[in-house]
């Protein structure tokens, strides 16, 4: 009997990609007061991929569950994900995190939360963004696969599921080109930009999403301690660009490059 | 359904981390969000916020890339109606028939996002939603609703609203288009007359034409496929505004309309005026969207363009005043729209309220955009800077659905009890 996919899609609420981030007056965090937030773009690509798998073959996908950790503010983001086609959502409530404190969960803490949640939900496939556009860590998916002891295929640009065998083939974008890997389920896939183009949300689906279930749980329910193990010592903007110089001959150019240690 | 989201995202991801401090003029940063000056989200329901976000995504990703060419070449891509339909943006307040029964505020938010891109696009949408679908809901019978609404909602058929005539604009009551019973065929009316400045008419499949039957204004659903050679809908070309939307005439010479296509329950100006009320309400929101678009463009230009001592234009006081004035009118305009939208859904709205916000928001949007245009200098004349198109469009938005002076008279009459129209 061909395997049915029980997909978990972890998502993250981040500062909207169109907003320029600023460092807060206290100089130890990014300013989030009054700033527009939305779903991490790579997470949208993950949801879209899960929905496309469902649309590609009747009965292939059993369920698509969203999960996100943070304060109650992420409800909007989860609802947006439900409107994109997920079936249900779980909010891992961590009230200590709210916008004005700009506290962030660390990738390892998130990976531990997700491991517990994935095991609880009997999922056999995790599709998630390769990184969040706020911290650009690109760690959580890999850590999650390690904790679960599952196969992983990161930076996916194409996903194919062989329904008969349950083997998933993933084309990955790597520095040198494209690498194709395959593994049987269960598996963690992280999405890269070119995997798909998310659809526009329909009004009808926003209305339908209101009826879909969102449950709230806590890190304690999952038996995970999310205390930060890292401390942000300081945060600063990149140094101002200083002017360049002109070299009037090839020798002068080589001399300058050597002078700054570039060659 | 394809999206231009990805190139937009890649472009912005590349630009995203440019810190403010590379711009030597910036010294002040505050929590005040100029893009959302009165935290409108706090006045909206979760659903309305989600709808506004979805509308903005689609409009910026899919309509914005088309508007420059559409306006330049005076072409309207009919697929836009299908796309709007598929996303549920047509007739969103209607219950049933594939529509979503969302709030009036949600409808306004959609209009705001569409008009942030172009007033012509929003005109096409308003006509379909408020001036064709809504009269069917309010005044049509079940048979008519079932026949037309589902396909109108999907954008598969396009509608238009024929009220204005070449000789009767502000005074629709004196219209000359007439309907008379067919001399020999039972249950058929013949319509004759001309309508002018009708958005969508050259591409409309169903035309809601208002005509006098025995001296009383009635609404007739003219179907192009059944109208015969007496119906002509020539496009008005060479317009200086709303060029990205299609406008035309409706010329009728004994066009046959079955009596099943007459709106049964409404007579007189009440019919068209009820529809216009809803469209006007959407326009009050939309015109602010246009002004928001203009402000964002002007602000960016002022930050980028440098004159005298490498100062960006944004450093100069006269420039900042123009931006401040526009932002203020945006804020007040949006607050009025939300309140009127809530009153509308509570059944407490009066037409004068809608006329008032339409008039004021259009007047402010037009005047502010013309001032913002000055920031661009000569570049305002290049359509690639968009500001000229927005200002040109806003002149028409101020004019149609009740020119500002006409709304002033309606308000004056309501205030004093004295009719000053004529």
Tokens of A207: 């209305």
Could you say which of B29, B50, B58 has the minimum Cβ distance to residue A22? B29
Cα A50 to Cα A53: distance, rounded to the nearest angstrom: 5
Comparing CA positions, the residue from B133, B85, B132, B135 lying closest to residue B110 is B85
B90 CB neighbours in chain A (<8 A) are: none
Comparing CA positions, the residue from B17, B138, B5 lying closest to residue B61 is B5
Give the distance from CA B312 to its chain's centroid: 34
Cα B109 to Cα B36: distance, rounded to the nearest angstrom: 13
Inter-CA distances, B260 with A115, A196, B183, B187, B193, Å: 64, 48, 17, 8, 21
Question: Which tens digits make up the pLDDT trace of B252-287?
Answer: 999 999 999 999 989 999 999 999 999 999 999 999
Could you say which of B16, B22, B51 has the minimum Cβ distance to residue A206? B51
DSSP H or E segment with residue A151: strand A151-162
Comparing CA positions, the residue from B213, B193, B227 lying closest to residue B264 is B213
Q: Which residues of B are catalytic?
A: 401
Peptide bond just before A186 cis, omega within 30 deg: yes
B9 CB neighbours in chain A (<8 A) are: 17, 41, 193
Cα A63 to Cα A177: distance, rounded to the nearest angstrom: 33
Residue of B nearest to A38 (CA): B53
A151: left (phi over 0), alpha (psi -120 to 50) or beta: beta
A34 CB neighbours in chain B (<8 A) are: 31-33, 36, 39
A151 CB within 8 Å of a chain B CB? no
Q: Do B33 and A36 touch (CB under 8 A)?
A: yes
Cα A167 to Cα A181: distance, rounded to the nearest angstrom: 10
Could you say which of A197, A210, A241 has the minimum Cβ distance to residue B5? A197
A76 CB neighbours in chain B (<8 A) are: 46, 49-50
Question: Which tens digits make up the pLDDT trace of A65-86?
Answer: 999 999 888 999 999 999 999 9
Comparing CA positions, the residue from B82, B104, B83, B79 lying closest to residue B93 is B104
Q: How close are the terminal C-alpha atoms of chain B, in Å?
A: 52
B-contacting residues of A 35-54, CB under 8 Å? 35-36, 38, 41
- Binned at pLDDT 50, 70 and 90, residue A103 comes out as low
Burial A80-97 (b: 16+ CB within 10 A, else e): bbbbbbbbbbbbbbbeeb
Cα B100 to Cα B89: distance, rounded to the nearest angstrom: 9
Mutate to test the interface with A, among B1, B50, B92, B97 (most CBs of A within 10 A): B50
Q: What is the pLDDT of residue B28?
A: 73
Sign of the four-CA dihedral B91, B96, B98, B100:
positive
Could you say which of A38, A193, A237 has the minimum Cβ distance to residue B10? A193
How confident is chain B (422 residues) per 10-residue block, as mean pLDDT? Answer: 52 46 55 90 95 97 97 96 98 96 98 98 97 97 97 98 96 96 96 97 98 97 96 98 98 97 94 94 98 98 95 97 98 98 97 97 98 98 98 96 93 96 90
Q: Do A34 and B100 touch (CB under 8 A)?
A: no
Q: Do A22 and B5 touch (CB under 8 A)?
A: no
B54 CB neighbours in chain A (<8 A) are: 83, 200-203, 206
Q: What is the pLDDT of residue B8?
A: 55
Residue of A nearest to B29 (CA): A22
A236 CB within 8 Å of a chain B CB? no
A–B interface: beta-carbon pairs under 8 A = 97
Could you say which of A17, A75, A80 has the minimum Cβ distance to residue B16? A17
User: What ipTM did this prediction achieve?
Assistant: 0.87
Q: Which residues make beta-bridge pairs with A171?
A: A158, A180
Q: What is the pLDDT of residue B410?
A: 95
Q: What is the pLDDT of residue B130?
A: 97
Q: Do B31 and A198 touch (CB under 8 A)?
A: no
B1 CB within 8 Å of a chain A CB? yes
Residue of B nearest to A82 (CA): B50
A-contacting residues of B 97-136, CB under 8 Å? 100, 102
User: Which range has the worst mean pLDDT, A8-17, A234-243, B332-341?
Assistant: A234-243
Tokens of B163: 């009220």
Could you say which of A34, A79, A193 has the minimum Cβ distance to residue B31? A34
Q: Do B54 and A204 touch (CB under 8 A)?
A: no
Q: What is the pLDDT of residue B24?
A: 45
Q: What is the pLDDT of residue A2?
A: 67
Cα A126 to Cα B281: distance, rounded to the nearest angstrom: 46
Instruction: Record the pTM.
Output: 0.91
A138 CB within 8 Å of a chain B CB? no
Tokens of B254: 């004994």
Q: Do A203 and B53 touch (CB under 8 A)?
A: no
Residue of B nearest to A39 (CA): B53
Which H, E and C letters describe B394-415, residue by residue? HHHHHHCCCCHHHHHHHHHHHH
Distance from CA of B15 to the nearest CA of A (A): 9
Strands A187-191 and A151-162: parallel
Q: Do A200 and B21 touch (CB under 8 A)?
A: no
B85 CB within 8 Å of a chain A CB? no
More confident residue, B379 or A28: B379
**Which DSSP string corresponds to B181-220?**
E-SSSTTEEEEEEEEEEEETGGG-SEEEEEEEETTEEEEE
Mutate to test the interface with B, among A18, A99, A200, A241 (most CBs of B within 10 A): A200
Residue B280 class from Cβ within 10 Å (0-12 exposed, 13-18 middle, 19+ buried)?
buried
């Amino acid at each position: 009997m061909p395997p049915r996919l029980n997909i978990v899609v972890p998502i993250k609420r981040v500062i909207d990609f169109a907003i320029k981030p600023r460092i807060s007056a206290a100089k130890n965090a990014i300013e989030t007061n009054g700033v527009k937030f939305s779903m991490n773009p790579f997470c949208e690509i993950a949801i879209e991929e899960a929905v496309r798998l469902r649309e590609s073959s009747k009965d292939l996908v059993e369920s698509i569950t969203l999960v996100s950790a943070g304060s109650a503010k992420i409800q909007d983001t989860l609802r947006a994900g439900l409107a994109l086609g997920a079936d249900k959502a779980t909010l891992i409530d961590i009230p200590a995190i709210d916008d004005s404190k700009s506290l962030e969960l660390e990738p390892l803490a998130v990976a531990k939360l997700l491991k517990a949640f994935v095991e609880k939900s009997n999922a056999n496939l995790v599709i998630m963004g390769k990184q969040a556009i706020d911290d650009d860590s690109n760690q959580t998916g890999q850590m999650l696969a390690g904790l679960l002891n599952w196969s992983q295929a990161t930076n996916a640009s194409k996903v194919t599921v062989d329904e008969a065998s349950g083997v998933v083939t993933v084309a990955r974008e790597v520095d040198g080109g494209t690498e194709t890997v395959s593994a049987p389920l269960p598996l963690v896939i992280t999405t890269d930009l070119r995997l798909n183009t998310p659809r526009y949300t329909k009004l009808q689906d926003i209305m339908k999403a209101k009826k879909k279930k969102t449950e709230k749980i806590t890190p304690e329910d999952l038996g995970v301690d999310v205390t930060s193990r890292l401390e942000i010592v300081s945060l600063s903007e990149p140094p101002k660009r200083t002017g360049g110089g002109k070299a009037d001959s090839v020798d002068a150019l080589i001399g300058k490059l050597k002078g700054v240690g570039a060659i | 359904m394809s999206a231009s989201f990805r190139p937009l995202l890649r472009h912005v991801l590349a630009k995203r981390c440019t810190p403010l401090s590379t711009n030597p003029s910036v010294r002040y940063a505050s929590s005040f969000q100029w893009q959302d000056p009165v935290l409108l989200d706090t006045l909206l329901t979760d659903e309305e916020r989600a709808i506004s976000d979805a509308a903005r995504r689609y409009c910026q990703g899919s309509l914005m890339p088309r508007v420059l060419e559409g306006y330049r070449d005076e072409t309207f891509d009919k697929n836009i109606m299908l796309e709007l339909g598929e996303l549920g943006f047509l007739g969103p307040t209607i219950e049933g028939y594939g529509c979503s029964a969302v709030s009036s505020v949600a409808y306004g938010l959609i209009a705001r996002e569409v008009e942030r891109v172009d007033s012509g696009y929003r005109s096409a949408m308003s006509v379909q939603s408020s001036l064709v679908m809504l009269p069917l809901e309010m005044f049509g019978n079940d048979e008519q609703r079932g026949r037309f609404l589902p396909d109108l909602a999907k954008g598969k058929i396009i509608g238009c609203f024929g009220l204005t005539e070449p000789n009767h604009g502000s005074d629709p009551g004196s219209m000359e288009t007439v309907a008379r019973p067919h001399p020999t065929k039972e249950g058929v009316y013949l319509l004759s007359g001309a309508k002018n400045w009708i958005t969508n008419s050259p591409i409309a499949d169903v035309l809601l034409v208002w005509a006098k039957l025995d001296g009383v204004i009635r609404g007739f659903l003219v179907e192009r496929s059944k109208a015969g050679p007496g119906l002509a809908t020539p496009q008005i070309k060479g317009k200086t505004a709303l060029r990205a939307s299609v406008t035309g005439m409706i010329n009728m010479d004994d066009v046959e309309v079955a009596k099943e296509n007459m709106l049964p329950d409404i007579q007189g100006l009440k019919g068209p005026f009820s529809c216009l009320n809803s469209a006007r309400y959407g326009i009050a929101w939309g015109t602010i969207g246009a002004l928001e678009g203009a402000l964002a463009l002007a602000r960016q230009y002022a930050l980028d363009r440098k004159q005298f001592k490498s100062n960006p234009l944004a450093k100069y006081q006269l420039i900042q005043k123009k931006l401040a004035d526009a932002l203020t009118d945006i804020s007040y305009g949006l607050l009025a729209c939300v309140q009127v939208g809530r009153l509308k859904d509570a059944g407490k709205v009066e037409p004068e309220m809608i006329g008032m916000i339409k008039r004021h928001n259009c007047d402010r949007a037009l005047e502010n955009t013309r001032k913002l245009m000055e920031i661009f200098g000569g570049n305002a004349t290049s359509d690639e800077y968009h500001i000229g198109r927005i200002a040109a469009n806003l002149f028409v938005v101020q004019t149609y659905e009740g020119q500002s002076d006409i709304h002033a008279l309606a308000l004056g009459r309501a205030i004093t009890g004295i009719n000053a129209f004529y």
